[in-house]
Structure 1
Amino acid sequence: MSDFGKIQAREAGLHKKLTSKQMSMIAIGGAIGTGLFLGSKFAIGFAGPGVIASYAIGGLIALFLMGCLAEMTIAHPTSGSFGAYAEHYISPLVGFIVRYSYWACIVLAVGTEVTAVAEYMKMWFPMMPSWCWIIGFSAALIGVNAYSVKAFGSVEYWFSSIKVFAILGFILLATIVLFGQDGGVRGGIHNLTAHGGFAPNGFWGIWVGVIISIFSYLSIEMIAVAAGEAENPEQSVRKAFKATIYRLVIFYILSLTLIVMLLPWTKLVAEGTTSPFIIVMSNIGIPYAHHILNFIVIIAALSAMNSQLYISTRMMFSLSRAGDAPKFLGKIKNNGVPLNALALSASGIAVATIVYTIDPKAAFPVMISLSMFGAMLAWFLIFVTHYFFRRDMQKQGKKLTFKVPCFPIGTLLGAGLMLAVLCTTFFTNEFKPTLLFGIPFVGCLVILFYIMRRNPKL
């Protein structure tokens, strides 16, 4: 097996400008998005108060994943990240599949985020056509990513800071209301067991809720990609890993616990609005609750889009440097940005805009299903790659400067849970297309891999 240093040398040239503070905020910011603010309502619909268990299980998988990624990233910081690790420690085919499936899923996600922002803006500007917002926000964030990695880090730091303070504000306010003088009137621990019990739809409801929780946690893996451009990768990844552990518990588990304690879960599901956060704020009498949350959700979507543009660009850059994509996509400009890869990755915005214009109801489920499949497959293969990585380290007698405990139990458990979650999508009406579209997509990637290997000039 060749030395991993060859892959790192192959992907050299990017500027290392991301600070430790930016890396920590990028890590947690990636996990706080529209999945929490909007998607949690659907999880509550499946699991009831058991949504706490759903997000706890999803959080456990996410923490196992962060540990595996942190260990590999500190050993081998590079922008190809888990795609490069899979190539080196499993096989070039698996590295090819991880990179392309993840790149495709993120590109599609970029487009869905910006079209979602256009929808949110209608609350304030109902007469403005959606394409104006799509073009405006897209141009701004593409410009940020094209300028420099430092500009990306600064913008993402402030986006993430706003989301973090919004969650902290909500937790503080909800706690005051719940345990204040009128807390017994508005809510209490009885809401966790009333209206059908803690798990009104049984364990199946909780388990389906895990699918949505995984979707909410997606993007925490971007910290491993960003490490390739960090000033001090080892220190930054260590801090980000620890910060993410504590903040995931606080932001997700605590906020959702407060939500289902303050209001009956049946009321949260029955309300017409799409976010349980706004339902709670409206019921406890917060003025302009709709406008406050709309602003936060827009920031969350723009933050996700900013991160997705960055990570998809680096994945395509890595594919090019590996010889699995045209060479011009691996070129770096003087500012340290692979602009050609960025231009291609931004194509998801154009695709989503066309879909949005023609037939959003018919085509968006396909895009979202492919996006979910690519991300879940990447998570599963990260666990598998970590197992091979550790086995290779032990065989060569190499000492790791950072090791996660409970190997191989944590790695195998994470892989098993992710595989179970992925398979579960087939047995639900809402997520059935995930495997129906995802498996043929992987088949196409395998065919493409062997075609490109036999015809390297393509």
Structure 2
Amino acid sequence: MDEGTGLRRELSGRQVGMIALGGAIGTGLFLGSGLAISLAGPAAVAAYAVAAVVALALAYALAEMTVVHPEAGGFGAIAHRYLGPMASFVQRWLYVVAQVVNIGSEVVAAGLYIQFWWPEVPLWLPVVVFSALILTVNTLSVRFFGEFEYWFAMIKVVTIVVFIAIGVYFLLFGLPGRPSPGLTAITDHGGFLPNGLGAVWLALSVVTFSYLGTEAVAVTAAESKDPERDVPRAARGMVVRLGLFYVLGTAVLVAVVPWTEAAGAEGITQSPFVRLFEYAGIPAAAGLMNFVVLTAALSAMNTNLYLSSRMTHSLAMVGHAPKALLKTSARGVPTRSLALCALGLVIAVLASVFSPQQAFPLLIGAALFSGVTAWILIFVTHFAFRRTRAREGLPASPIRLPGAPVTSGLAALALVAVLVTTGFTDQFFVAWLAGPPFLLLLVLAYLPVRRRAARTGARDAEPST
């Protein structure tokens, strides 16, 4: 156990790698890919490729900083060191709120997936059951959490690999009763760029959110058995796997299913993944995919609850949240921080059930704005990290983001542009209704926190590592 935090270093290398990968692969690929395709057509694959580059730059920047500072709070603690306490306070609370709202949306989605099989079941019942399940998993021990998440994330990974394999075989050789379509799905229906380059940029604002979760690699460092080895390895593994799963998976999708059919495929039965499995003669393809997206939702819930509780615990460590949240169980689990995040989960679920037309879209908008803003601050932190260590003559990190600080700056600018673009999309414009007011509220909330720290003589600083 880390005596300074109460957390335990029990996550193995394979668990850290799968948590990071599972955090970046969600139901957005299985169900939400149709939304990006509806905007850009087959060129949506280019949007996924560009977003992958930004996500991979983020993974490398985080790994570079986390190997030097493998502490509780992850990127929030590092921001505290290099950007100051206010930036860290804002970033961490932005991230906590984004994750808690995402947990609420995922548990409601999981309940809807159950209704696919049993439509007569009231939505609240599976929501309560799954909430209790995921809370229990997070309460037991970090090692149990890591093993549970490893196998749930593995289901997503195996599904994507099988999908790509079947798709490539179908394109090359055809399937029983269905000859190979060649590349007609791309060349027909307006070609590769049916809606122009502007549509690809709009799609980029959609697909960027699919990669949220990449930052999980930094938060696991405080509970990794060997962060100096495991964090860089997890970051490097994501380079190949994200490119394979998102970019190649989307390329196979648009090559097999005409984009006019895949566009807007939001339900299980309309998912492009279901269409290909039906082509392959897999019985009950829709039921199989429903199981996959159900496990994907539970995996996202599991990881997001872990991330939000650890970030809340790190806020308490520096006096940016009540000290009572520092308490950990005998298993090294920050139970009070976990309970606080679970309370937020309840609020998000109630909003989605009782006021889906008003409250829940605003919560989702705040989450989207918060998540991207937290990413931007990660790149700003990385720029300050590089500059400070160079000025003070400190040794370089054993893993480095190639091309930095230019790559950090370009990635941050790309995210700012994407965030601005969300205001012009029907799906995400609500982020600008909720995000900036919430950001201002956090800045104002820091002022009494700072005054209290000055009055009580609190250090308002991270523990040294």
Superposed pair shares fold, TM > 0.5: yes
Letter in 1 for 2:195: N
2:212 to 207, 215, 218: 218
1:447 aligns with 444
2:291 aligns with 295
Superposition map of 1:97-112 within 5 A:
97-112=90-105
1:269 aligns with 263
| 8 Å CA contact retained: 1:115, 1:352 | no
2:134 aligns with 141
Secondary structure at the residue paired with 1:323? coil
1:408 to 398, 405, 409: 405
Query: Given the superposition, is the C-alpha separation of residues 11 and 208 from structure 1 closer, same or farther in structure 2, using an over 3 Å criterion?
Result: farther
- TM-fit CA distance, 1:270: 6.5
Q: Distance in 2 between matches of 1:229 and 1:274?
A: 40
Q: Distance in 1 between matches of 2:435 and 2:357?
A: 19
1:308 to 304, 309, 332: 304
Query: Given the superposition, is the C-alpha separation of residues 356 and 432 from structure 1 closer, same or farther in structure 2, using an over 3 Å criterion?
Result: closer
Query: Given the superposition, is the C-alpha separation of residues 144 and 404 from structure 1 closer, same or farther in structure 2, using an over 3 Å criterion?
Result: same
Q: Distance in 2 between matches of 1:403 and 1:176?
A: 38
Q: Are positions 1:429 and 2:444 aligned together?
A: no
Q: Are positions 1:341 and 2:337 aligned together?
A: yes
Q: Distance in 2 between matches of 1:192 and 1:434?
A: 33
Letter in 1 for 2:429: K
1:206 to 196, 200, 219: 200
1:417 aligns with 414
Secondary structure at the residue paired with 1:455? helix
- Greater Cα offset, 9-18 or 191-200: 9-18
Q: Are positions 1:368 and 2:364 aligned together?
A: yes
Q: Deviations over 1:180-232 (max 9, x none)?
A: 14598453223223212212221121111112221111111111001110000
- TM-fit CA distance, 1:358: 1.4
| 8 Å CA contact retained: 1:106, 1:371 | yes
- TM-fit CA distance, 1:25: 1.1
Q: Are positions 1:232 and 2:226 aligned together?
A: yes
2:117 aligns with 124
| 8 Å CA contact retained: 1:186, 1:262 | no
Letter in 2 for 1:317: H
Q: Distance in 1 between matches of 2:275 and 2:202?
A: 23
| 8 Å CA contact retained: 2:166, 2:280 | no
Q: Distance in 2 between matches of 1:436 and 1:349?
A: 21
- Greater Cα offset, 267-276 or 141-150: 267-276
- TM-fit CA distance, 1:379: 0.7
Q: Deviations over 1:417-437 (max 9, x none)?
A: 111111111122221111221
Q: Distance in 1 between matches of 2:4 and 2:281?
A: 53
| 8 Å CA contact retained: 1:373, 1:435 | yes
Q: Distance in 2 between matches of 1:123 and 1:191?
A: 29
Q: Distance in 2 between matches of 1:109 and 1:356?
A: 11
2:108 to 93, 98, 115: 115
Query: Given the superposition, is the C-alpha separation of residues 303 and 68 from structure 1 closer, same or farther in structure 2, using an over 3 Å criterion?
Result: same
| 8 Å CA contact retained: 2:98, 2:370 | yes
Q: Distance in 2 between matches of 1:355 and 1:25?
A: 31
- TM-fit CA distance, 1:92: 0.9
- TM-fit CA distance, 1:305: 0.1
Secondary structure at the residue paired with 1:176? helix
- TM-fit CA distance, 1:274: 4.7
1:4 aligns with none
Q: Distance in 2 between matches of 1:347 and 1:11?
A: 26
Q: Distance in 2 between matches of 1:415 and 1:181?
A: 43
Structure 2 residues not aligned, in runs of 5+: 457-465
2:158 aligns with 165
- TM-fit CA distance, 1:89: 0.2
| 8 Å CA contact retained: 2:326, 2:336 | yes
| 8 Å CA contact retained: 2:103, 2:345 | yes
Q: Are positions 1:13 and 2:6 aligned together?
A: yes
**Identity of matched residues, %:** 42
Superposition map of 1:47-126 within 5 A:
47-126=40-119
1:3 aligns with none
Letter in 2 for 1:89: Y
Letter in 1 for 2:419: L
| 8 Å CA contact retained: 1:30, 1:222 | yes
2:15 aligns with 22
Q: Deviations over 1:371-412 (max 9, x none)?
A: 111110111110010000000110111112222221112111
- TM-fit CA distance, 1:300: 0.3
- TM-fit CA distance, 1:105: 0.7
Letter in 2 for 1:117: A
Q: Are positions 1:393 and 2:384 aligned together?
A: no
CA RMSD of aligned residues (A): 1.8
Query: Given the superposition, is the C-alpha separation of residues 233 and 179 from structure 1 closer, same or farther in structure 2, using an over 3 Å criterion?
Result: same
1:317 to 305, 313, 317: 313
- TM-fit CA distance, 1:279: 2.7
How many residues are treated as equivalent by the alignment? 450
| 8 Å CA contact retained: 2:372, 2:419 | yes
2:252 aligns with 258
Q: Distance in 1 between matches of 2:112 and 2:425?
A: 27
| 8 Å CA contact retained: 1:110, 1:348 | no
2:460 aligns with none
2:463 aligns with none
